[in-house]
């Protein structure tokens, strides 16, 4: 048999509990279920840094932020991956693989190829239209007047809304279209490594109308409620979304799940195309996400946190002949393991003499009894280490600690440090010692001194809401084209046209006064009330 192909499919911000076959019957995911039936479901998969840019640079380098420098999202092209770090795409292309990236990568600069032979990008907020293949595609398809290509990202960032483009041209459909086109049209004679990156279900939850009501009136799990105070960082995350009532939050959750089911449909199309090409039996397929989404758990939203809603992710692997169909593995795995896995199946060696934290999923070269996770620097930094019994979190700002019983309290609702301090002190002693060791080995330099975590002044939450208006329209050279875009307010109106639950009068309008014309927003709301 020739060298195996590798197909990596990633979503963005997909929680671990969003695959029906994993034991979550509220989900409609027939194609993810198919992958689970034909391959292996990893039940304890984690993001080693649960934020977009860091997680994706962990994937591409197999290393943490000590090496690739992205401890958080950075939106400055001067912040780049060090040139000396090898990537899996580079290693595979050097070995004769055709390496292809389609969809969201979130590299910086955007078009830096990082070893990929070719790229067709679809980023959340294109800075320049010509470097985004999906933005150019929409222009060609008659959507050139749109600014908000992936939903309204200011006042409606996590509000119920529907896509401004139809199903056939939606970003999730486009990623599948381009992936299928590549699978069908590529030349024979060399193996491929293809990374297909979906933006969904990352907010905005802009699903097409055809999928918008898929979960309406369906029994869905309620957001988790903590019995003890949550971290200051988690408190800060409460303000990212602006839900005036439970009805609005409930509808947004429905659309989040719908976005995943819409991706699931595209996954089915991709798997069928792979079958049609005759390459399915010789292709390693990995499906996973860069991180999760709190989705209202503990009253918080987005990622950045060590809690499972943020850090735990789905991971399914199909590899005929090497992975037992319908199998499950409960040991800890994470995104750092992908690079070594790809190199392993390609018959290559890991490059250089770097201390890689991950190992091939088909080897026993890693201690999978614990899971280390990190995020940020300074007073915002935290690290987490868990085994199958407990999860220990350390927050550098103020030196705060959390300990959760993963057996008795898998939903992480009770911080034992607060309710049973003496018990927690003894229960977390060995785990804390191990956390210090792993932080010294893999974490940012200077975070451990004399065998102890350093501490920073108490972290104080900062109030902010997500507001990311489009960037590329103002940078176009053609003045007439710039003037031809739909106003942001009109896009907002169209996005909520079929979502009556959204009441603009109840939203924090003052926060967006510098972005939107508030007189126009009031006109839109008045019109909605009269309809």
Instruction: Please write the tens of the pLDDT for every residue from 314-329.
Output: 999 999 999 999 999 9
**479, part of any domain:** no
The predicted pLDDT at position 352 comes to: 81
Same domain, 226 and 294: yes
Residue at 181 is within a domain: yes
The reply to whether 503 falls in a domain is no
In 389-503, which residue ranges form alpha helices assigned H by DSSP?
A: 416-419, 421-427, 429-442, 479-483, 488-495
User: β-strand 45-46 against 333-334: which pairing, if any?
Assistant: parallel
When pLDDT is cut at 50, 70 and 90, the band that residue 353 belongs to is confident
If pLDDT is split at 50, 70 and 90, which confidence band does 205 have? very high
Sign of CA dihedral 7, 384, 389, 387: positive
Residues 432 and 321 in one domain: no
Q: What is the mean pLDDT of residues 66-78?
A: 91
What residues does 120 pair with on adjacent strands? 102
d(CA 227, CA 417): 12
Final residue in a domain of this structure, among 453, 479, 508: 453
pLDDT of residue 110: 86
* Judgement on whether residues 401 and 279 belong to the same structural domain of the protein: no
Question: pLDDT grade, residue 458 (50/70/90)?
Answer: very high
C-alpha torsion sign, points 73, 78, 82, 84: positive
Residues 88 and 222 in one domain: yes
Query: pLDDT of 509-524, one tens digit each?
Result: 999 999 999 999 999 9
**What pLDDT does 179 receive?**
98
Task: Fill in the DSSP letter of residue 446.
Answer: T
Same domain for 342 and 405, yes or no, is no
- H or E element at residue 174: helix 171-185
Do the beta carbons of residue 467 and residue 154 sit within 8 Å?
yes
383 and 312 co-located in one domain: no
Angle at 99 between CA 93 and CA 102, to 5 degrees: 155
pLDDT digits (tens, 9 = 90+) for 359-410: 999 999 999 999 999 999 999 999 999 999 999 999 999 999 999 999 999 9
494 in a domain, yes or no? no
pLDDT attached to residue 371:
98
CA distance 62 to 88: 8
**Least confident interval from 106-115, 158-167, 261-270:** 106-115
* Boundaries of domain holding 407: 374-453
Strands 283-289, 315-318: pairing is antiparallel
Contact present, 329 and 40 (Cβ < 8 Å)? yes
Task: Tell me, yes or no, whether 382 and 335 share the same domain.
Answer: no
Output the pLDDT for position 232: 95
How confident is the model at residue 455, as a pLDDT? 87
- Are 18 and 312 in contact by the 8 Å Cβ rule? The answer is no
Burial 440-466 (b: 16+ CB within 10 A, else e): eebbbeebbeeeebeebeebeeeeebb
**What is the separation, in whole angstroms, between the first and last Cα of the chain?**
64
Q: Is 260 in contact with 199 (CB distance < 8 Å)? A: no
Does residue 470 fall inside a structural domain?
no
Residue 273 and residue 310 in one domain:
yes
> Residue 236 is part of a domain; what is its CATH number?
3.40.720.10
Report, in angstroms and rounded to the nearest whole number, the Rg of the chain calculated over CA atoms.
Answer: 23
CA-CA distance, 31 to 349, in Å (whole number)?
A: 33
Considering the entire predicted model, what is its pTM? 0.97
Which among 315, 433, 450 is positioned nearest to 19, based on CA atoms?
315
Work out the widest C-alpha separation in the chain, in whole angstroms.
Answer: 69
| 380 and 244, same domain (yes or no) | no
Last residue of a domain, one of 453, 476, 503: 453
* Residue 1 scores a pLDDT above 70: no
Question: Is 142 in the same domain as 245?
Answer: yes
What tens digit of pLDDT does each residue of 115-161 get?
999 999 999 999 999 999 999 999 999 999 999 999 999 999 999 99
Pairing verdict, β 371-375 and 382-386: antiparallel
Establish if 217 belongs to a structural domain. Answer: yes
Integer Cα distance of 1 and 342 in angstroms? 17
The domain total for the chain is: 2
If 0-12 CB within 10 Å is exposed, 13-18 middle and 19+ buried, where does residue 321 land?
exposed
Nearest C-alpha neighbor of 438 from the set 381, 394, 372 = 372
Mean pLDDT in the chain?
Answer: 96
Residue 505: pLDDT above 70? yes
Work out the pLDDT band at 75, boundaries 50, 70, 90.
Answer: confident
Q: Which DSSP category does 231 fall into?
A: P
Which of 423, 453, 483 lies at the terminal end of a domain, its last residue? 453
Rounded Cα distance, 265 and 285, in Å: 16
Euclidean distance between CA atoms 8 and 193, whole angstroms: 8
Q: Are residues 183 and 303 in the same domain?
A: yes
pLDDT of res. 76: 82
Whether 342 maps to a domain, the answer reads yes
Same domain assignment for residues 340 and 417: no
* pLDDT band at residue 32 using 50, 70 and 90 as cut-offs: very high
Token pair listed for 352 = 């250089």
Residue 495 domain-assigned? no
């Amino acid at each position: 048999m020739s060298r195996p192909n590798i197909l990596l499919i990633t979503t963005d911000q997909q929680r671990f509990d969003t695959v029906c076959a994993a034991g979550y019957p509220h989900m409609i995911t027939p194609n993810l279920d198919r992958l689970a039936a034909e391959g292996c479901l990893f039940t304890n998969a984690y993001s080693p840094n649960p934020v977009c840019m860091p997680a994706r640079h962990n994937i591409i380098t197999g290393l943490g932020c000590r090496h690739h420098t992205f401890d958080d999202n950075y939106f400055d092209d001067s912040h780049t991956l060090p040139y000396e770090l090898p990537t899996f795409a580079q290693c595979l292309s050097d070995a004769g693989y055709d390496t292809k990236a389609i969809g969201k990568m979130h590299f910086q600069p955007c078009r830096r190829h990082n070893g990929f032979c070719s790229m067709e990008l679809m980023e959340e907020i294109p800075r320049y239209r010509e470097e985004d293949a999906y933005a150019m595609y929409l222009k060609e398809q008659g959507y050139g007047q749109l600014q908000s290509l992936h939903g309204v990202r200011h006042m409606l960032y996590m509000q119920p809304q529907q896509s401004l483009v139809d199903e056939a041209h939606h970003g999730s459909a486009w990623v599948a279209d381009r992936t299928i086109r590549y699978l069908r049209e590529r030349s024979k004679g060399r193996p491929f490594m293809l990374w297909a990156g979906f933006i969904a279900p990352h907010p905005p939850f802009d699903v097409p109308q055809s999928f918008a009501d898929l979960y309406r009136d369906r029994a869905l799990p309620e957001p988790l409620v903590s019995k003890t105070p949550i971290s200051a960082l988690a408190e800060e995350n409460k303000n990212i979304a602006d839900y005036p009532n439970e009805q609005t939050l409930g509808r947004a959750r429905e659309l989040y799940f719908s976005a995943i089911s819409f991706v699931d449909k595209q996954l089915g199309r991709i798997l069928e195309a792979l079958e049609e090409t005759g390459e399915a039996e010789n292709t390693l397929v990995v499906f996973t996400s860069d991180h999760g989404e709190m989705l209202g758990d503990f009253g918080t939203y987005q990622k950045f946190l060590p809690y499972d809603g943020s850090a735990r992710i789905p991971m399914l692997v199909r590899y005929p002949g090497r992975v037992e169909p319908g199998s499950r593995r409960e040991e800890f795995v994470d995104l750092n393991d992908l690079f070594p896995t790809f190199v392993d199946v390609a018959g290559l060696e890991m490059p250089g003499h770097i201390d890689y934290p991950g190992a091939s999923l088909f080897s026993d070269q890693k201690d999978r009894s614990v899971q280390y996770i990190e995020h940020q620097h300074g007073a915002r930094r935290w690290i987490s280490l868990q085994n199958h019994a407990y999860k220990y979190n350390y927050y550098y700002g103020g030196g705060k600690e959390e300990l959760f019983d993963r057996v008795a309290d898998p939903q992480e609702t009770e911080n034992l440090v607060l309710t049973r301090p003496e018990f927690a002190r003894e229960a977390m002693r060995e785990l804390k010692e191990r956390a210090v060791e792993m932080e010294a080995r893999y974490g940012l330099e200077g975070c451990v001194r004399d065998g102890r975590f350093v501490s920073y002044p108490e972290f104080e939450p900062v109030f902010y809401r997500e507001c990311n208006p489009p960037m590329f329209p103002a940078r176009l050279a053609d003045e007439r084209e710039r003037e031809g875009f739909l106003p942001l307010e009109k896009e907002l109106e169209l996005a909520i046209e079929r979502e009556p639950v959204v009441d603009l009068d109840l939203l924090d309008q003052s926060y967006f006064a510098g972005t939107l014309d508030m007189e126009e927003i009031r006109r839109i709301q008045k019109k909605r009330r009269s309809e």
